[in-house]
Amino acid sequence: MLSTEVDKAIKKELEQHLEFGGATRFLHWVRAFMIIFLTASGFYIAYPFLQPDASSEPISFLQAYSRAFHCIAGFVLICASIFRVYLFLFAKSSRPERYSIGQVFNPLVWIKTIGAYLFITAHPHIKGAYNPLQFCTYLALGILTLVICLTGVSLYSHVYHDGLGFIMGSCFGWVEVVCGGLANVRAIHHIVTWVFIIFIPMHIYLVIWNSVRYPNGGADAMVSGIRYVDNRRI
């Protein structure tokens, strides 16, 4: 009997909030899988270690297939990223994410957020989907995604000279000029890939850590879209 009353009290105190819309969650996982695939296939293209069986017929195109699938995944990432930016700016379901911008300019929220990660203070009440540290991290990740997509398109245009490759080369030839040559384009593309490799395990760890310490549905919010908010703090 007592347990039932406690459960009812908890249910009254917690309220469900839709934090991420369906399209946002779908694009998150599309980009996540594309980045993983692009990283693996990119390293194989740079250092091929498989040798197809020798044949007198022109059928052994393993490296060409690897490059083709890498390029396809790259364009999927570009399209998903563009649509994700559109949702952030205009979608009604992304309003909690836009609310997070205001907190970036609040020094008190910054201090409390960093203190929470250092086990010094309690986590501040956040108005929006992200705390300022998360927002700045994801913003930096978006900029890096833009860099790796631009350098990837530049590299693509130097392999495929007709059709889409010609269009990409005409529109984004300035990338090679800004980077100081094609070799630098490839180097920047490679370096940013390593940034993603470092970010992914850190991101997974911090999501789990945050959800264990503050069990409000944070870990599965990108699956269900739901976060639980304590009404006593509103």
The CATH number assigned to the domain holding 126 equals 1.20.950.20
Q: How far is CA 187 from the centre of its chain?
A: 21
Q: Tell me the mean pLDDT in the region 184-206.
A: 94
Answer yes or no: is 216 within a domain.
yes
- The residue to which tokens 């929006």 are assigned: 128
Distance from the first to the final alpha carbon of the chain: 29
Answer yes or no: is 104 within a domain.
yes
pLDDT tens digit sequence for 126-165: 888 888 999 999 999 999 999 999 999 999 998 888 888 8
- Alpha helix stretches (DSSP H) within 58-94: 62-90
pLDDT value of residue 210: 82
Tokens representing 90 are 């205009």
Own/partner long-range contacts of 115-124 (Cβ < 8 Å, ≥24 apart): 123/213, 123/214
pLDDT tens digit sequence for 158-185: 888 888 889 998 999 999 999 999 999 9
Answer yes or no: is 69 within a domain.
yes
Residues found in the chain: 234
What residues does 227 pair with on adjacent strands? 17
Secondary structure of 3-21 as H, E, C letters:
HHHHHHHHHHHEEEEECCC
Q: At what angle do helices 132-157 and 107-117 cross, to 10 degrees?
A: 90
pLDDT tens digit sequence for 3-25: 555 555 545 566 777 788 889 99
pLDDT value of residue 5: 53
pLDDT value of residue 13: 62
Answer yes or no: is 230 within a domain.
no
CA triplet 148, 166, 31: central angle to 5 degrees?
Answer: 30
Phi, psi of 4 (to 5 degrees): -65, -40
pLDDT tens digit sequence for 80-120: 999 999 999 999 888 889 988 988 999 999 999 999 888 89
Q: How confident is the model at residue 231 (pLDDT cuts 50, 70, 90)?
A: low
Answer yes or no: is 6 within a domain.
no
Answer yes or no: is 231 within a domain.
no
What residues does 15 pair with on adjacent strands? 229
Please say if the pLDDT value at position 1 is more than 80.
no
Domain of 198? 20-47+60-223
Answer yes or no: is 40 within a domain.
yes
Q: What's the structural domain count of the chain?
A: 1
Residue 231: burial class (beta carbons within 10 Å; 0-12, 13-18, 19+): exposed
- At 102 the three-state DSSP class reads helix
* Max CA pair span of the chain: 80
- The residue to which tokens 């009604």 are assigned: 92
What residues does 229 pair with on adjacent strands? 15
Instruction: Calculate the alpha carbon distances from 75 to 31, 61, 175, 219 in Å.
Output: 11, 21, 17, 28
pLDDT value of residue 36: 95
pLDDT tens digit sequence for 35-64: 999 999 999 998 888 777 766 666 678 888
Answer yes or no: is 229 within a domain.
no
- The residue to which tokens 């692009």 are assigned: 38
